[in-house]
Amino acid sequence: MLNDLIYLKVNLPEDILKLKWAGYFEEAVKLIDLRLNKQIPTAMRKRLEQEKEIIMAIKGDYTYTFESALKKMQDNIEDFTEEELITLQQESQADWILVDGKVMFNSSFYDTLLKTRDDLAARLIHKISDDGNGRKEFLNKNIKDTKENKEASYFIHMKSTVKIKEDAARTGEKIRVHIPVPAECQQSNIKIIKTYPEAAYISPADHPSRTAYFEVNLQEDREFSVEYSYESHLKYNAPDPSLVSKEQPCFDTGELEPHIMFTPYIKELAKEIIGDETNPLLKARKIYDYITQNVKYSYMRAYSTITNIPEYAALNLKGDCGVQALLFITLCRYAGIPAKWQSGLAVTPYSIGPHDWAQFYVAPFGWMFADPSFGGGELRSNNTAKWNFYFANLDPFRMVANSEFQHEFDPPKKHLRHDPYDNQVGEMEYEDRGLLRKEYTANWELIDMHKITCNNVNYIK
């Protein structure tokens, strides 16, 4: 099924495209069905079939009318005006589409603004108390220690849980569940401690999209969980451009349709960013700098609704961690620099949540990391030390489940995945359909995290 994703590169017929972007989704689907009932080329048939799925997904992501979005802002931001919302819309800082010809804002537009606009967060009527400062200090200390010790090693023990919401539950029916679990990479000594209910299968430790797989009749509690532990080991990288090898490898430099593609705009952008630079390490740094300086962080609608994710980031200059990572990977690959994907969770004692980042390869240093999302956030906070750290380095507070983008599960999912490209929270399906992301919850519990040293163990409290 993932093989059919390549047809996303096929353009939609103009009449369907007009209706889609005017937000006349029902009319667009009618035109799609008319074409599907005719003799049409296979590529167009596959593309139209996928477009029906995209339209279904995109409709649910935009829930605020202009009036309700304005009320949301005025209820929470002191002295917020209609003109401000119009400006945020025009500057594409508040994500919107047309639905039946009317402006509708993304369900995450408010959270995006609070995360990316300190001036708006400072005007909150009801201040939010969080552990943001504690998390920042925790990461700052790790960077300092990593540089001093030239490495960082941590033991992490946690539990991942997914639960089907009551209104989506079909108690007694067969259900298949895939929960991401740690894979071999910078992680080692991985142990699957306990699963609930008993997992039918755990994919191999080196599988590019590793999961614990359940196949059971749904019980009353509607819950599935995996408890696991692993060690995270990272060396500190401080690569010297003058030591870069003359000969460089060519693996992981190709396209991966439909997203990692060398479109005309990607080619022109890469040439402008890189200029006359020939050193691959400095080329990668130029790409990292461009993304962190120009692409604003933004919560995204479902990746499955975007036909070319890196180009979306390049054209709109916004995107979340995965969107920024894919732009970095694509630009690096076009520049002849091997680059690939990693994703899973960012895990600290203060918070746990999905996260994506990139790897790139420069001989003789080997594989290194780039986290444009974390790096860009630090640059916006004027923390240049952390901005520099997240080029070539990564903190050890990750749970890596995926080492390739757009890779099939083992065993494969029968129906189209909610996220065909990544897996951070898990996927579920009944015999007749897959569950939508809004039909289940995902939670994570950190049971133990402690630093591993040569002579003793330092516990994080």
Report all structural domains of the chain as residue ranges with CATH numbers, in order of start: 2-59 (no CATH), 62-121 (no CATH), 151-234+413-454 (2.60.40), 239-392 (3.10.620.30)
Cβ density class 427-457: b for 16+ within 10 Å, e for less: bbbbeeebbebeebebebebeebebbeeeee
Q: How far apart are CA 357 and CA 346, in angstroms?
A: 10
And the tokens for 260?
A: 């990692």
Q: C-alpha distances in angstroms, 411 versus 3, 37, 288, 417?
A: 16, 33, 35, 13
Q: What is the pLDDT of residue 2?
A: 82
Q: What is the pLDDT of residue 53?
A: 87
Whether residue 435 contacts residue 449, with contact meaning beta carbons closer than 8 Å, is answered with: no
Q: What is the pLDDT of residue 3?
A: 85
Q: How far apart are CA 424 and CA 438, in angstroms?
A: 15
Q: What is the pLDDT of residue 192?
A: 98
Q: What is the pLDDT of residue 326?
A: 98
Angle formed at CA 292 by CA 286 and CA 295, multiple of 5 degrees = 115
Q: How far apart are CA 424 and CA 211, in angstroms?
A: 10
Q: What is the pLDDT of residue 454?
A: 57
Question: Which residues of the chain, if any, have pLDDT below 70?
Answer: 1, 129-132, 454-461
Q: C-alpha distances in angstroms, 285 versus 87, 274, 328, 335, 375?
A: 33, 9, 10, 12, 12
Please return the burial class of 107, using the count of CB atoms within 10 Å of its CB with bins 0-12, 13-18 and 19+.
Answer: middle
Q: How far apart are CA 325 and CA 355, in angstroms?
A: 10
Q: What is the pLDDT of residue 130?
A: 60
**Per-residue pLDDT reduced to its tens digit, 61-108:** 899 999 999 999 999 999 999 999 999 999 989 999 999 999 999 999
Q: What is the pLDDT of residue 459?
A: 39
Cβ density class 4-43: b for 16+ within 10 Å, e for less: ebbbbebebeeebeebbebbbbebbbebbeeeeeeeeeee
Q: C-alpha distances in angstroms, 167 versus 108, 222, 417?
A: 23, 11, 20
Q: What is the pLDDT of residue 370?
A: 98
Q: Looking at 288-363, which runs of residues are DSSP E strands?
A: 296-297, 318-319, 339-347, 352-362
Omega before 411 within 30 of 0, i.e. cis:
yes
> Which of 167, 159, 171 has the alpha carbon at shortest distance from 221?
171
Whether residue 417 contacts residue 427, with contact meaning beta carbons closer than 8 Å, is answered with: yes
